[in-house]
Amino acid sequence: MTGPAVKTKDPKTTLLRVWNYMERHKAGLLLSGVFVIISSLLSLLGPYYIGVIIDHYIIPVDVNGTIRIAVMLLGIYIGASLFTWLQAYMMVSVSVKTIGNMREDLFTKLQTLSLHFFDRHKHGDLMSRFTNDIDNLNQALSQSVIQIISSILTIAGVTIAMFSLDWILALVSFVTIPLMLFVTRKIIGFSRENFSRRQKDIGELNGFIEESISGGDVITLFGKEEETFTQFHSVNERLRQSAMRADMFSGFLGPLNNFLSNLGLGLVIGVGAIMALKGMTTVGIIASFVTYSRQFTRPINQLSNLLNSIQAALAGAERVFETMDEVPDLKDKKDARSVNRFYGDISFIDVDFSYHNENKILSNINFSAKAGEMVALVGPTGSGKTTIINLLMRFYDIQSGEIFIDGRNIRDYRLRELRKRIGIVLQDPYLFSGTVMENIRYGKLDATEEEVIKAAKTASAHGFIRHLPDQYNTVITSGGSNISQGQKQLLSIARAILSDADILILDEATANIDTRTEVEIQKGLRNLTKGKTCFVIAHRLKTIEQADRILVIKDGEIIEQGNHEELLNQFGFYHDLYANQLKI
């Protein structure tokens, strides 16, 4: 009950930002508001005519008048129901459009953020912001906003109607209202912070589940099912406790307010009965007051319950806006240059880099690559090879030094165009759900079928594609789980080839491909890289013997560089690596 919880930081600002999205759809909001007013007015007329029919027609036994007013009441309540449905329909339409705009802005924002942001956030937590958090907001917008407006109008209208009928009974009806407001305020204060904690715990649970599913084969391989379940139980238990606290506090509202509502209703009936016996009021007015009293307390109960759902929605909206407010680590300069083609000269000058301003990953990196050269990066795992490639792609910005392409600092180029002119094949390639043709064509969306097949042949992927059930129309599941790791890399290489980039990067691209296929790929890549600069990261040194330049990296520094023969003749670190691999 007293566990740690995170409060909503600024609910007013969050509400204002949500409203800024909603007001884009003013027509729908206006229509919905008109329907709310009409339905509220019709609902107020019902109790009044109930009193009229009792005092003026039922008690005097006027059958014709009773039938006439009863038909009128039927029309009033049918109209109220119709306009209630119309207001809900219009509000759902506004809500869906609003949430659609927010999802688009959130997704667009994610496309502008650097890898540093994704390093700091679990993918499951980000997914939770797209799903649970936005869904909570959607539910609140589609249901709560109109009900709040309707409740406020109903309370105002009922107050006026009650005082116009009998001010004494009106005051009696309001005796329990201050107590209801006090209880609501206290419980909302307790539940708000727990709803925020619940949303955070949902994100953590989603992140853990996403990691467990993605790494399911590793969990099975190492027999860690029990340990994984124990971790899941711990995360799930935290969510259970925060959800229980949130729901338990909010659950108090309904029963307490219902009790106070019934208490107020009892007072109205009791006092009204005494007044009727003394001739101070009529049975019809008491009947009207009983109905109005229900109408008065029902909105208050609804507002109490709605405020709980709104707290959950605000907690989710705040997490969404938190992501939207992330400042991109990398931005284009105001005078950033467009580039349609790179010649391919690349230079690293005195480059230092650390991922989180902690220990340096790279220190004093200096090298040059001429256009058309194949440059190989070798060294122990964790030495900084892939980091150099990440900096060239400008996935991260360096702390000091400069990186040049064709004589210009890479910060002078527009990010989108810089990366478009660089083709990369990662060590762990990713394929999207879709056909083989679509996955290769991702490198050049307007490529013809012939161009796709040509790229596949160059990458030595055409052979295995022909043996797939539907060849190039074979559907690949998300992530490429229905083909082998080597086949995924072949398709990824074909995709990079099709992109016709000026600079090619192969980050351990042949690590999961058999030797024979690797030889074929090297031949194709050698032809492909004529006139283009190519970077190759490889642990198997036999595959980069023909590289024009080899950079030997250890502990974030370039300790040797030269071609294969030159490095062997130095009898240094590279010689030792090569000798250990080939046992010479």
Of the candidates 351, 360, 331, 347, the one whose C-alpha atom is nearest the C-alpha of residue 398 is: 351
Q: Mind listing the pLDDT tens digit of every residue in the chain (584 residues)? A: 333 333 456 667 777 887 888 778 888 878 888 888 888 888 878 777 777 778 777 888 778 888 888 888 888 888 888 888 888 888 888 888 888 888 888 888 877 776 777 767 676 677 777 777 777 787 777 777 777 777 777 778 878 877 887 778 778 777 777 777 777 776 666 666 667 677 677 777 777 777 776 666 667 656 667 777 788 788 888 888 777 777 776 666 667 767 777 777 777 778 777 887 777 777 777 777 777 777 776 776 666 667 667 777 777 787 788 777 777 777 777 777 887 888 888 888 888 888 766 677 888 888 888 888 888 888 887 788 888 888 888 888 888 888 888 888 888 888 888 888 888 877 777 777 788 888 888 877 888 888 888 888 887 788 888 888 888 888 887 666 677 777 777 888 888 888 878 888 887 766 656 666 666 666 656 666 667 788 888 777 777 777 888 888 888 888 888 888 888 888 888 888 878 776 54
Q: Are 113 and 332 in contact (CB under 8 A)?
A: no
Give me the DSSP letters along 425-460.
E-SS----SEEHHHHHHTTSTT--HHHHHHHHHHTT
Tally of CB atoms within 10 A around 482: 13
Q: How far apart are CA 365 and CA 226, in angstroms?
A: 46
Q: How far apart are CA 110 and CA 197, in angstroms?
A: 24
Give every strand in the sheet of 557-562, ordered side by side: 422-425, 503-507, 533-537, 374-378, 549-554, 557-562
Q: At what angle do helices 225-277 and 177-214 cross, to 10 degrees?
A: 160
Torsion sign over Cα 203, 208, 210, 211: positive
Looking at residue 7, its pLDDT comes to 47
Q: How far apart are CA 268 and CA 293, in angstroms?
A: 8
Beta-carbon contacts of 478 under 8 Å, excluding residues fewer than 6 positions away, are 431, 432, 433
Looking at residue 217, its pLDDT comes to 60
| List of domains in the chain | 11-324 (1.20.1560.10), 346-582 (3.40.50.300)
Q: How far apart are CA 105 and CA 559, in angstroms?
A: 46
Position 100, amino acid: G
First to last CA, the chain: 69
Q: What is the DSSP letter of 131?
A: I
Q: How far apart are CA 565 and CA 430, in angstroms?
A: 35
Element (H, E) at 403: strand 400-405
3-state secondary structure of 536: strand
Q: How far apart are CA 483 and CA 433, in angstroms?
A: 12
What angle is formed at CA 575 by the lines to CA 572 and CA 580, rounded to 5 degrees?
A: 130
